[in-house]
Chain A
């Protein structure tokens, strides 16, 4: 309703402003009572009114209600009651009157809310032709209505007509909306009920009716089920905390009347208060039968999930332990190059937890940057599963350079996308140090080898020199030996003639010789023999030294050898007046050796013993040492003996202990030297035991089975 459409009287001054304000209020008001009260107030303010009241016909009944008043006693208001059916009442008659009525007095049984006897009755309506919807009663303004009262009556009439007419319309609309609400409620699949607090049904939608209300033609089972459901529902309501205004939520088990199966509902009920109908309860039942089943399944799968999670956690824990136990840093980076996992050694390099030293943090960042560039290399090399490289890192705490070998492997998803890069770092410090030391060692070794080669070359040179000298010496020695051999041969040829002729003369080959001649010839003979012995000794030594002493091994008995030796020296033994005895102790086996050389040695030892023993005895003893497989021939005398200090010297060449006894005893001084050399050639030894003044024992030991070569 537009403001311009409102028929307004011409306005003047303050009166006009007041009227305008009042009309504006009416336009915004939708309440009859409020409008009426405001109108009464306005009237009291603008007219000499003593009493005023507004009566309105109630739309759904026939009563006239007092909605506004001024100057009316409360007792009058309480007592007032008027029905539109009371057609004799002047006020009811006034409703249909085309004009306002002035009443000067009323009969006592016609009650009005005013105390004044005379008052105006103005029907409230939009047009003068229609029946009024209400009445405005005004007293105190005299029989003639003033303009303000007339204006107000007309304005309020229009307002009341407008508002009451709308109220009727609203009533019809309410019915329609109620039907809509029913259809909406029925459309909801959940059962919805409106009950009193005891659970008595007031309104139910079709789904609820199916559960709680069995139709006339329903089976016995259905009816019983419905009755049971009602009982269960009532019990649920009574035990629930429905007293609260908040929503109460609980589970309710009902019976499906048609199927007979159990249905689990969630019961949502709330208490509502209505002024006219008192307290009632709205309940919504939500079927959770399937939900419960689903819930169980969810719980089961949740439990499975928890177990799986626990296993994964354990696995992860084990993996962490393993990874952390590896001394080499291990890192896992994602395809962006960000570290997603690392073990403790890696954390020391790339995280330095709990350290806020600026230098350390800087080095950690530098390490991270180096790793990132390595990993980005790996990422760009698609197709290669492994990548190896070296990274220069630094110890975050000390700043010590830390060269590492990095081995990276990529982990691909099932679709072949690169998911992670696993990098293992291996400290190369030790390896590099080892390599350096190895290099040093190699150099030292090369140096050593060079020196050794130098020394070897020098040595070889010296060796060569020595070898040449040796050859020269050998040649010289051989020449000497040859010279001596030749010389001794040359000596012996004339000596042979001397000895021969002397012998012939002594044997009277050329006729008898005189005794003085014989004596001289004997001297010539003995000196010639001595000279021959010297020459023979020199020849023997020369041969031995040249290694050209021929050996002729045969088997022979020692006893027989002793006899031969003794027989050969018989003349000397006789002359010496010594007791010479031979002894073979135990079973001495035959000896395999050069018989002539052995005989030469024994002859020598025996003649020496005879020579150096002024008085007493000489004993030759043979014995066999089975363990050493040696035959020992000992020649013991009771002679002058040899001091310990000189015992080694007797075996030297041309050595007799004293030059003067040597003269006295004769001999070349080469005998023992030759004996020892011969014994050595035969694989044997000669030993000496002696005490000065007590005698000497020379012992020849020979291997019984000949020289072992």
Chain B
């Protein structure tokens, strides 16, 4: 892991965008526990503001958000020269038809389905950062999302 490749940061900065506070704080706590700097946003508008302000190494974006949903926020970030290179991992609560395609179309680099255990989320973030290392200004093709959910009856 190469945690401080942007602006002299010692650890990579993850912006966690999630309207459900318990989940947002849970992911934040676990990410910090796992060695990341964490910033938080509660809606799409805030996510865009904070991304512009902080230029995080990666954005964890819930799709169902108040004020501006995650697809729209992702689309705006990916259409902006200043934020285009930042990988975005979509968090989707239900994998109904269209959600995954919608996320990819909006510009998400990967997506994970909730419920997602914290260590699975951390593993996905680490994988994506590893993939983007060395080409910080050119995010290139979106990384293929790894399936992190394991379901069985």
Contact = CB atoms under 8 A, between A and B. Distances in A.
B97 A493 contact: no
A548 B97 CA distance: 6
A352 interface: no
B76 to A, nearest CB: 24
Contacts of A670: 153
B4 interface: no
Interface string A351-366: 0000000000000000
A692 interface: no
Interface in A531-589: 532-533, 536-537, 539, 543, 548-550, 568-569
Interface stretch (B6-14, B38-46, B53-61, B114-122): B114-122
A668 interface: yes
B153 A607 contact: yes
Contacts of B117: 499-500, 503
Contact of B93 (A493, A536, A568, A671): A493
A635 B91 CA distance: 35
A97 interface: no
Given A497-B20, A504-B118, A548 B96 contact: yes
B152 A604 contact: yes
Given A532-B115, A543-B96, A548-B96, A504 B30 contact: yes
Contact of A667 (B22, B30, B119, B153): B153
A582 B114 CA distance: 32
Interface residues of A, number: 38
B137 to A, nearest CB: 32
Contacts of B26: 497, 500-501, 504
Interface in B87-136: 93-94, 96-98, 100, 114-119
A495 interface: yes
A110 B142 CA distance: 208
Contacts of B152: 533, 568-569, 603-604, 607
B67 interface: no
A519 B120 CA distance: 22
A503 B119 contact: yes
B29 A509 contact: yes
B147 A596 contact: yes
Interface string B22-52: 1100110110010000000000000000000
Contacts of A539: 94
B31 to A, nearest CB: 10
A550 B153 CA distance: 20
B150 interface: yes
A526 interface: no
A504 B33 contact: yes
B16 to A, nearest CB: 12
A510 B32 CA distance: 11
A670 B151 CA distance: 13
Chain B's interface size range is 20 to 34
A500 B94 contact: no
Interface in A583-617: 596, 600, 603-604, 607
Contact of B23 (A500, A543, A548): A500
A6 B55 CA distance: 204
Nearest to B32: A509
B93 A500 contact: no
Contacts of B96: 485, 543, 548
B151 A536 contact: yes
Interface in A665-708: 667-668, 670-671, 674
A509 B151 contact: no
Contact of A493 (B23, B29, B153): B23
A496 interface: yes
Interface string A497-525: 10111011001011000000000000000
A489 interface: yes
Contacts of A50: none
Given A493-B20, A550-B97, A600-B151, A500 B33 contact: no
Given A536-B151, A600-B151, A603-B152, A507 B93 contact: no
Given A533-B151, A668-B153, A670-B153, A496 B116 contact: yes
Contacts of A501: 22, 26
Contacts of A533: 151-153
A507 B152 CA distance: 23
A674 B153 CA distance: 10
Interface string A77-96: 00000000000000000000
A662 to B, nearest CB: 12
Contacts of A485: 94, 96
A548 B98 CA distance: 10
B115 A500 contact: yes
Contacts of A607: 152-153
A416 B150 CA distance: 113
Q: Which of A550, A569, A600 has the most CB of B within 10 A?
A: A550
Given A488-B94, A492-B93, A507 B153 contact: no
Contacts of B97: 543, 548-550
A496 B26 CA distance: 10
B27 A500 contact: yes
Given A497-B22, A500-B23, A492 B151 contact: no
A365 B23 CA distance: 119
A607 B150 CA distance: 14
B118 A500 contact: yes
A255 B96 CA distance: 146
A317 B70 CA distance: 111
Contacts of A507: 33, 118-119
Contacts of A668: 153
18 contacts: A485-B96, A492-B115, A493-B93, A493-B114, A496-B23, A497-B23, A500-B26, A503-B119, A504-B26, A507-B118, A533-B151, A550-B97, A550-B98, A568-B150, A600-B151, A603-B152, A604-B153, A607-B152
Interface of A: 485, 488-489, 492-497, 499-501, 503-504, 507, 509-510, 532-533, 536-537, 539, 543, 548-550, 568-569, 596, 600, 603-604, 607, 667-668, 670-671, 674
A-B pairs, top 5 by smallest CB distance, nearest first, are A496-B115, A671-B153, A550-B97, A497-B22, A500-B26
Given A497-B26, A507-B118, A548-B97, 6 more contacts: A493-B23, A496-B114, A500-B23, A500-B26, A507-B119, A532-B115
